[in-house]
Structure formats: structure tokens, C-alpha cells
Amino acid sequence: MGTLMQSEAEIVKKPVGIRFLERAKGSKLSYNAYQAIVLIVTFLAYASYHAARKTTSIVKSALDPQSPDTGLNSLLLRFTSFRSSGQESQEDGGWAPFNGPNGTVLLGEIDVAFLAVYAFGMYFAGHLGDRMNLRIFLTIGMVGTGLFTSLFGVGYWANVHSFYYFLIMQMLAGLFQSSGWPSVVAVVGNWFNKKKRGLIMGIWNAHTSVGNITGSLIAAAMLRYGWGWSFVVPGVVIVLIGFVNFAFLPVNPEIVGAERDEDVVDSSEKIGDGSVNVPLLLSSSDSETDDKKRAVGFIEAWRIPGVAPFALCLFFAKLVAYTFLYWLPFYVSHTAIEGEYLSDETAGNLSTMFDVGGVVGGIMAGYISDRIGARAITAASFMYCSIPALFFYRSYGHVSLLANASLMFLTGMLVNGPYALITTAVSADLGTHSSLKGNSRALATVTAIIDGTGSVGAAVGPLLTGYISSRSSWTAVFTMLMGAAFVAGLLLTRLVMAEVAAKIAESRPLESECRSSPVDHQGLVVEV
């Protein structure tokens, strides 16, 4: 009777889409099938978040079509006045209030408002995420994001020209967007162990770049019909995917009664000072004990070894990445390439090469960190290598389209590699750190702290870019970005030294063993 009641309880807890799949299959889904569903659903969910987020950068040139001949220091608008009735020509004269002398600054302020609320909301989102059903929490965030992203675009048909309307819509969209990242990382962390987490999450993290690319292509394509569509279409898409998430996302193995495979146990994880191997997250048989554990507090999560340095590193890494996310299409359209300026649509399409490079960089960083077992060394190396890449892109990106696309790809690979690694595998590793003694109710909080701190940098970057580019030059902007990349690598110095010391310590016993063992003529250890 007890087993029957438990089985019925599991059925009630299962998302309706999972129940449908099991009914169609005629049996329970395997653990691997659940893992595949988790990866696909969370991939689509966060790709839609980024697609909705990317639209602003594409539409900027339509809202503020400053003449490329005068640069960013002064604006010569093609139309200095607008008809008192009807919609203004967004292609020729921009859109008030963003087509005035301070239009670039206003766009920068909207970016920073969005990201500031996003960063602020992230800390609370992680706290709530560890205490709520993540499937419901994520669905609410997606529907809210879609609603306010669409309302920003509705300003086109409603002929709205109030700066505060657009500011408030972006701030509310940012608040709901903050629910996304802690939720998806926590869910994926619940289903995968550390063994291949870097590679798996590196591939999975392609959702960021796929979302950016999709958002860029949709927004650029919709511009010809009116910039409002560039917001409404991605807004509708994220709402639809939100319903898919609600129907299919299994938050953890326990809630669907899935039995953990043996490879989910991480042999390197130990409780306390003992030597007993345990799973990263407790199995269903331990769920009663797990339920009794309190969720990790905000301050306590900050004290987990490694959280603070990686969080501060991400501050500067996201400062660089989000400056490109929000300003790259604008920069490309206002930079003469082979002596010619590209259209808004072409510039938006070309800017996707940065995200294509980001996909490759995220996978490479995850794979390398898994192979060498050193997250900090990998992240710091990528950040240092991004400095010359940024310099060459600014110096030689104007030579030709091929040079621009190639250097943009390289820059995206090196900038987004550590960004992807820290926000995925590192966050999940720290959220299941051995100091937590198996407590699974820290994933969302730790993820929120790391990405929330990074998002503060993401807010600062576009804001500084708006002011620096309008008052100085883009060369000064790139100098700022190179400095940020250097500081990001520098913040991991202590962790890098610790990883190097650990590698040296590991190699010494091995060298000693090799010297004491007979070897054949090829240098291979001979078994005796």
C-alpha cells in the first residue's frame, strides 16, 4: 500500500508532458531520457531568454540612426523634425526620444537599467529558486519576460515617445529575466555530476550564443516591417517555450521517481573528513534527509571556497561580453569596412560571428578544463588571450569583411569561453561543493551570486561604453575592455597558483613511481 501511494504521488508530481510521454511509450522513461529532456528544454528556455535580450542591440541603429560620417561625438540626423501625427519613419529619422543629441546616452541608460535590475533580481531569484518549484518559477519568469519585451515593441504602434515608458518596460523585463539562469543551472546541476560537467555544460551553454544569433536574425529581419516587430516576435516565442518548459521540465530525479545511474556518483566527492564516496546530490532514498536540510543562506554561500574570486572575475568577463552583446551591431554599422558602411540589417547579421565564436569557445573551455582538471587555469588563460584579440579586432577589423568576421569570431571565442565556463560548470561545481556536505539546496543560490555579480559588470560595461564612445572614441572603449579582461584574469591568480601547486604535487608521486619501476625501451612502465 505504501509503495502504491508513493507511486501515485510521483505521478501527480510529474509534469504533464512527462506523463504524456510515458503513456505513449507504455513505460517509465530511463534516466538518460530524462537527462536528454532536461538539456533540450533548458537549452530552448535560455536560448529564448537571450533571443529576447538581444533585440535591443539590433534595434538601436533604427532608434538612433546617427550619421556615420560624423562619428559618435556629434549627431547629424537626416530628419530633425517629425510630423505631429502618425508614426515617424524609423528607417530615416529614428524614434524620439532616442534620435536627439543624447540618444546614444539614453540607449546606454536603458541598457544599464535593464542589467542593474537583472543583477539585483538575480540574488533574490537564486534565494527563491532554492525554496520553490523551479519549473513553475522558470515558467513565470519566461512569461513575464515575453510580456514586457512585447510591450516595449508595442510602443511603436502606440506611437509612444516617453523615455520612461521604454525604461520601465526594460526594467520589468530584466526583473523577470533574472529568474532564468539560476533556475536552468540548478536543474542541470541536479541531473549531472562533475565528471564531464565542463564538456556537457560547455556544449549546453551554446544556448547563449544560439539565442543571441536567433535574436539578431529575427530582430534584423523584422526591422523592415517596423522595429516593434523586433520585440514582439521574440516576446511571443519565449512565452510559447515557457509553456513547453512547464509541460516537460523534470526539476530533479526525485520528483519523477528516476533512479540515478552509477556514473552519477562522483568518486572525488567526500563528506567531511571521511573517505566515504557519495553522490554529488543525494539519491531518492535520502530525500527525506535532504528535505530536512535548510537552504543555504546568502552570506554562507559567499563563504564557499572559490565563490568570491570566480564571482568577481565574472564581473569583468561579463563587462566585456555584454558590451559586445549590446553595442557590437551599432559599432559595426558605424565603422567603415573597406571604406563602406553596412546597413543595420547587414551589421546585425555580421555581429552573429561573435556568438558563433562564443559557441566554440564555450565548448573548448569546458573540454580543456575537464581534461586538465583545472577550471581557474582555463578561465584565466582565455581571458589573457582575449586581450590581443580585442586589440587586433579594433586595429584591423575595418580592413575587410573577412578580416572583421575572422577577428570577431576569435574575440567571441576567447571572451565567451571563460564566461560560459564560470556561469555553468564552475557555478554547478561550487553549488555542490564538498563543504556543503551533500546539501543540494545551494545550487540556485550559488549560481545567482556568481552570475548576479557578473551581471553588475554586464550593466556597467554598456553604460561606460555609451558615455566613453560619445565623449571620446571607440579606441578608448576597447582600451577599457582590454583592461577589464586583464583584471578578470588577475582575480583568479590565487586559484591558478593553487591548481598549479596541486598539479605539481600530483606529478611528484607519479615521477617517483616511474623511477622505481622498470621501463621498456619505449618508456612504458613494465608491470612486475
CATH number at residue 378: 1.20.1250.20
Residues 492, 351: one domain? yes
- pLDDT bin (cut points 50, 70, 90) of residue 260 is low
Residues 215 and 310 in one domain: no
Q: How many domains does the chain have?
A: 2
Shared-domain flag, residues 208 and 323: no
Rank 15-24, 279-288, 506-515 by mean pLDDT and report only the highest: 15-24
Lowest-confidence range among 16-25, 68-77, 468-477? 68-77
Alpha-carbon distance values, 216 to 56, 105, 200 (Å):
9, 22, 25
Same-domain pairing of 24 and 104: yes
- Contact assessment for residue 235 and residue 153, using Cβ atoms and an 8 Å cutoff: yes
Same domain, 250 and 300: no
Domain extent, residue 249, equals: 14-71+97-254
- What does each C-alpha distance from 463 to 112, 115, 322, 326, 474 come to in angstroms? 6, 10, 10, 10, 14
Residue 125 covered by a domain: yes
Reported as a pLDDT band with limits 50, 70 and 90, residue 518 is low
Does residue 5 belong to any structural domain of this protein? no
Q: Does residue 356 lie in a domain region?
A: yes
Residues 233 and 301 in one domain: no
One DSSP character per residue, 292-354 reads: HSPPPPHHHHHTSTTHHHHHHHHHHHHHHHHHHHHHHHHHHHTS-BTTBPPPHHHHHHHTHHH
Asked whether residue 289 carries a pLDDT value surpassing 80, the answer given is no
Residue 10's nearest CA partner among 352, 300, 258, 328 is 258
Q: Which pLDDT does position 224 carry in this prediction?
A: 87
Query: DSSP readout, 426-468?
Result: IHHHHHT-GGGTT--TTHHHHHHHHHHHHHHHHHHHHHHHHHH
Q: 334 to each of 13, 77, 365, how far by Cα in Å?
A: 53, 14, 32
Burial 337-373 (b: 16+ CB within 10 A, else e): beeeebebbbbbbbbbbbbbbbbbbbbbbbbbbbeee
- Domain contains 386: yes
DSSP secondary structure of 39-74:
HHHHHHHHHHHHHHHHHHHHHHHHHS---GGGTTTS
248 and 303 both lie in a single domain: no
- Among the ranges given (74-88, 127-141, 182-196), the one the predictor scored with the smallest mean pLDDT: 74-88
Instruction: Tell me, yes or no, whether 224 and 318 share the same domain.
Output: no
In angstroms, the Cα distances linking 433 to 102, 268, 302, 306, 439 are 48, 11, 12, 10, 9
Q: 254, 283, 311: which is the final residue of a domain? A: 254
Is residue 242 located within the same domain as residue 338? no
Residue 267: per-residue pLDDT: 38
Of 198, 226, 254, the domain-final residue: 254
Q: Is 516 inside any structural domain?
A: no
- Count, residues in the chain: 528
For 213-244, write each residue's pLDDT tens digit.
899 889 989 988 999 999 999 999 999 999 99
Do 388 and 479 fall into the same domain? yes
Range of 26-30, 151-155, 355-359 with top mean pLDDT: 151-155
Average pLDDT, the chain: 78
pLDDT band at 38 (very low <50, low <70, confident <90, very high): very high
Q: What's the Rg (C-alpha) of the chain?
A: 25
Q: Which residues pair with 449 in a beta bridge?
A: none
Q: How far apart are CA 182 and CA 126, in angstroms?
A: 6
Orientation angle between helical segments 352-372 and 401-421, nearest 10 degrees: 40
Q: Which residue has the higher pLDDT, 40 or 526?
A: 40
- Helices 307-333 and 375-396 cross at an angle (nearest 10°) of 20
Both 177 and 233 in one domain: the answer is yes
Q: Is residue 522 a part of any domain in this protein?
A: no
Together in a domain, 307 and 454: yes
Question: Cell numbers of 512, please?
Answer: 617517483
Residue 300 located in a structural domain: yes
Domain-embedded: residue 401: yes
Mean pLDDT, rounded, for 143-149 = 97
Distance CA 11, CA 14 (A): 5
% of the chain residues with pLDDT over 70: 77
- 273 vs 326, more confident: 326
- Residue 278, pLDDT above cutoff 70: no
Measured distance CA(452)–CA(444) in Å, rounded: 11
CB 180 within 8 A of CB 251: no
